[in-house]
Structure formats: C-alpha cells, structure tokens
Amino acid sequence: MFRTARRTAALSIVLAGALMLQGCLVGAVVGTAGAVVGGAAKVTGAVVGAGVDSVTTSDEETRARQAREQRDHEREQRRCEQRRANGQRC
C-alpha cells in the first residue's frame, strides 16, 4: 500500500511537470511563430517600400535626370559643331 502511494505521488509529479512544460513549449512555439511572422512582415514591408520607391520619382531624381539629359544634349551639340567645322555632316 505504501509502495502504491509512492508510485501515485511520483506519477502525479511527473504529470504535473509535463503539463507545466507543455505551457512553456506552447509559449516558445507561439513566440517563434510571432518572430517568423514579424520578420516576414518586415521583409514584405521592405519589398513593398522598394517597389513603391522604384515606381515613384522624387523631385531630386527628376532634377538629376533633367540635368543629365541637358548635359548629354549639350555634348551632342558640341560634337555636331566640331563635325561641321571639319566639313562633316551631323
């Protein structure tokens, strides 16, 4: 009878410990899932942000493009004038 009580107490302790550890395990799984979802959301946000940034043009980018086009046009004009000075067609 004493032996049965000891086994019952040991089994109760093991089961209680297992139940407590399941709570820790569930918490760890939920925490990991949250971290994965949060990381995926950050990556998705970065991709969407990059997509929007690549589609939209800022004022600075517009000015830089216009300045580059103006320099290219002026360079082509100088080349054309040099060709004409040498008797060639543009």
pLDDT at 27 over 80: no
Helix and strand numbers (H, E) in the chain are 2, 0
Read off the amino acid at residue 51: G
pTM of the model as a whole: 0.38
Helix (H, G, I), strand (E, B) or coil at 86: coil
Residue percentage of the chain with pLDDT more than 70: 57
Nearest to 83 by CA among 61, 75, 10: 75
Both tokens of 58, joined, read: 């800022």
pLDDT digits (tens, 9 = 90+) for 36-76: 656 665 656 666 666 666 677 899 999 999 999 999 999 99
Query: What does the alpha-carbon distance between residue 78 and residue 6 come to, in Å, rounded to a whole number?
Result: 102
Domain ranges of the chain: 1-56, 59-90
